[in-house]
Amino acid sequence: MVDFDVGAFMNSYSPTIGIAFSGGGYRAMLSGAGEFKAMDSRTPGSTAVGRIGGLLQSAKYIAGLSGGSWLLGSIAINNFTTIDRLQSAGNVWDFENSILAPEGALHIVDTTVYYNDLNREVQDKMNAGFDVSLTDYWSRALSRQFVNHTNGGPGITYSSIAKTDHYKNAEMPFPIVIADGRNPGETIVSSNATIYEYNPLEFGSFDPTLYAFTPIGYIGSNVSNGVPVESGVCARGFDNVGFVMGTSSSLFNVLITQLDSLGLTSVLKKLVEATLNAISAADNDIADYSPNPFFGVNPDINPSARTRDLTLVDGGLDGQNIPLHPLIQPTRKVDVIFAMDNSADTVRKNGQLSNWPNGTAIIATYERAINGSQNNGTLFPAVPDVNTFINLGLNSRPTFFGCDARNITTDTNKFPPLVVYIPNSPYTFNSNISTTEMVYSASKRDLMIENGYNIATRGNASFDQNWPACVGCAIVRREQERKGQTQTAQCQKCFKDYCWDGTRNSAVPNDYEPTALISAKNAGTRVGVKSWGTAIVAALSGLVSVASLL
């Protein structure tokens, strides 16, 4: 960054960075994979001119829900691997056939074996004395695509991440997956949902309706107010990593009711239905976490403290499809959040979905922060309405929200994060694929990932050579505000270009259907030569890096 002393800044302060990957099925997972790849200094060429490699290694927290949880879970549980390795592994991230018919719809015998295996694994859980739901089947299927162990690792737990060298050596951000609490028959919105988080150490919620956590490795134990009902007897293994990802994305449970739209043969449909008919169709998107790990905990504020049952659903069902909630908690003191929005919100005038984000997810978090009863001191910058997002193009390019913390609070100890909103856009590929699409050829998968890379880098800075520096300006902004420091001229220009200035245009927009952004700009769209960066220095000097930009 021009006229900015990175060394002096780093000697006195280390910014706290969070990254959030939205839900949206395979579209969100693959677009997010490209964005993750762009931020990862291990990706060859990611720290070259115009790139942002090192941002991942600089981050303290990384969060995902639904499709974003598949991305996060598959990376973290597979020894914090790289996207390149997952693309080339062969035995994971193979989406050539639907997860509902992994050998293809005509290979009935092989698929029958597949469903029998899923059923056996779920029956093992039931035989151990636990309630099961459709989410258990969905989870075992997901695991086979994302967990690089035999049969998707029925014994691999989310808590096992804490035992890996990458985690213990602080070589990876702290991974968080979220889901919503929902009682059977209940309707949830952002203001009333209790948001639960899973991390390698704990499971629980910051929300006032619970405000408690328990060791994640022991959920499934029969406890009362955190104490085993039977002295010394606890359960292990309930936090299966597939079950965590499946709970955050209880999509299978809904899709299974839409078999006709999936193109499966009638024989296979009968097989699927026979496998799952034993489970009640009522509330078929719920994941069962009984016995309730929070039974008897904070009964004055916790509505579920009086029941042995705890049921959770897809983390995006409250409208907050970007997992911002765990990153805006005051105790985490996050300075900046990179919010990767791969949602499918836009609708054409003929009523058909066009599957691009329109700000709905970030608006839901803002509305909860200012109006919801679930607010526990969280602050969030103002954002405009959906029509303004589209009319001003805020949903097709990066936008900074909360550029001036003092517009939100004058308490320097409570500054909310600056949010760098980065929406899915068609840089090199039309990545607005339906959330229900479950089949991707290897080439289509890789084109989605490449487009995500270009989203995060703005085409390797071919759209704005200052973009890497602007990322650095966003990272240091909060600490500069606390210290009363004036931004450099370069950062002032970045904030003029990328900050939402409060302008609104709420007129009903025309059909939103963007064209490929790099149709006439092919330079710099591919990953280049191998280069390695390091942690936060990469984010502020390497990431923001080029001498001409710094």
Q: Do the strands 17-21 and 336-341 form a parallel or antiparallel pair, or are they unpaired?
A: parallel
Do 325 and 306 sit in the same domain of this protein? no
Quote the Cα angle for 69-71-73, to 5°.
Answer: 60
Do 240 and 327 sit in the same domain of this protein? no
Q: What CATH number does residue 297 fall under?
A: 3.40.1090.10
- Residue 238 domain flag: yes
Radius of gyration for the chain, computed over Cα atoms and rounded to the nearest angstrom: 23
Task: Report the domain count for the chain.
Answer: 2
Q: Given this model, what pLDDT does residue 307 score? A: 92
Do 286 and 419 sit in the same domain of this protein? no
CA dihedral 470, 475, 481, 486 (to 10 degrees): -40
For the chain, the straight-line distance linking the first and the last C-alpha, in angstroms and rounded, comes to 3
- Residue 80 domain flag: no
Spatial distance between the Cα atoms of 36 and 15, rounded to a whole number of angstroms: 19
Q: Given this model, what pLDDT does residue 278 score? A: 57
Do 309 and 326 sit in the same domain of this protein? no
Do 293 and 338 sit in the same domain of this protein? no
Give residue-wise pLDDT tens across range 82-106. 999 999 998 899 999 888 878 776 6
Q: Which of 210, 232, 231, 243 is nearest to 142 (CA)?
A: 243
Do 464 and 521 sit in the same domain of this protein? yes
- Residue 162 domain flag: no
Query: How buried is residue 413: exposed, middle or buried, by Cβ count under 10 Å (0-12/13-18/19+)?
Result: exposed
- Residue 129 domain flag: yes
Residue 443, SS3?
helix
Spatial distance between the Cα atoms of 56 and 171, rounded to a whole number of angstroms: 10
Spatial distance between the Cα atoms of 435 and 250, rounded to a whole number of angstroms: 13
- CA distance to 4, 59, 423, 534, 545, per residue, from 11 (Å): 13, 17, 33, 16, 18
Q: Which of 424, 549, 538, 546 is nearest to 56 (CA)?
A: 538
Give the orientation angle of helix 108-127 with respect to helix 266-276, to 10 degrees: 0
* Residue whose token pair is 């090199």: 428
Long-range contacts of 146-151 (CB under 8 A, 24+ apart): 146/70, 146/73, 146/74, 146/77, 146/92, 146/93, 146/242, 146/245, 147/73, 147/74, 147/77, 147/78, 147/92, 147/241, 147/242, 148/78, 148/89, 148/91, 148/92, 151/117, 151/121
Tell me the two tokens of residue 48: 């070259």
Spatial distance between the Cα atoms of 72 and 66, rounded to a whole number of angstroms: 10
- Residue 541 domain flag: no
Do 359 and 489 sit in the same domain of this protein? yes
- Residue 84 domain flag: no
Q: Which residues contact 78 (CB under 8 A, 6 or more apart)?
A: 86, 92, 147, 148
Spatial distance between the Cα atoms of 438 and 430, rounded to a whole number of angstroms: 16
H helix count then E strand count, the chain: 17, 13
Spatial distance between the Cα atoms of 351 and 433, rounded to a whole number of angstroms: 16
- Residue 201 domain flag: yes
Do 102 and 43 sit in the same domain of this protein? no
Reduce the secondary structure of 349-383 to three states and give it as a string.
CCCCECCCCCCHHHHHHHHHHHHCCCCCCCCCCCC
Query: How buried is residue 316: exposed, middle or buried, by Cβ count under 10 Å (0-12/13-18/19+)?
Result: buried
Do 457 and 347 sit in the same domain of this protein? yes
Q: Indicate the residue among 315, 336, 359 that finishes a domain.
A: 315
pLDDT by position in tens, the chain (length 550): 566 666 666 666 789 999 999 999 999 999 999 999 999 999 999 999 889 999 999 999 999 999 999 999 999 999 999 999 999 998 899 999 888 878 776 676 788 888 889 989 999 999 999 998 889 989 999 999 999 999 999 999 999 999 999 999 999 999 999 999 988 778 887 778 899 999 999 999 999 999 999 999 999 999 999 999 999 899 999 999 999 999 999 866 666 656 555 555 565 566 666 666 655 555 678 899 999 999 999 999 888 898 999 999 999 999 999 999 999 999 999 999 999 999 999 998 888 889 999 999 999 999 999 887 788 889 999 999 999 999 999 999 999 999 999 999 999 999 999 999 999 999 999 999 999 899 999 999 999 999 999 999 999 999 999 999 999 999 999 999 999 999 999 999 999 999 999 999 999 988 777 766 754 344 333 333 222 223 344 444 444 432 222 2
Spatial distance between the Cα atoms of 71 and 449, rounded to a whole number of angstroms: 12
Spatial distance between the Cα atoms of 128 and 126, rounded to a whole number of angstroms: 5
Handedness of CA 492, 386, 321, 393 (dihedral sign): negative
Do 385 and 516 sit in the same domain of this protein? yes
- Residue 87 domain flag: no
Do 257 and 406 sit in the same domain of this protein? no
Q: Do the strands 17-21 and 311-313 form a parallel or antiparallel pair, or are they unpaired?
A: unpaired
Q: Given this model, what pLDDT does residue 353 score? A: 87
Cβ atoms of 530 and 53 within 8 Å: the answer is no
Do 446 and 508 sit in the same domain of this protein? yes
Backbone φ and ψ of 343, nearest 5°: -75, 170
* DSSP characters over 309-354: --EEE-TTTTS--S--GGGS-GGG--SEEEEEE-----B-TTS-B-
Spatial distance between the Cα atoms of 480 and 527, rounded to a whole number of angstroms: 33
Q: Which domain holds residue 339?
A: 1-65+321-532
pTM (2 d.p.): 0.92
Q: Which of 542, 532, 544 is nearest to 468 (CA)?
A: 544
Tell me the two tokens of residue 27: 């579209």
Q: Given this model, what pLDDT does residue 499 score? A: 98
Tell me the two tokens of residue 355: 């599957």
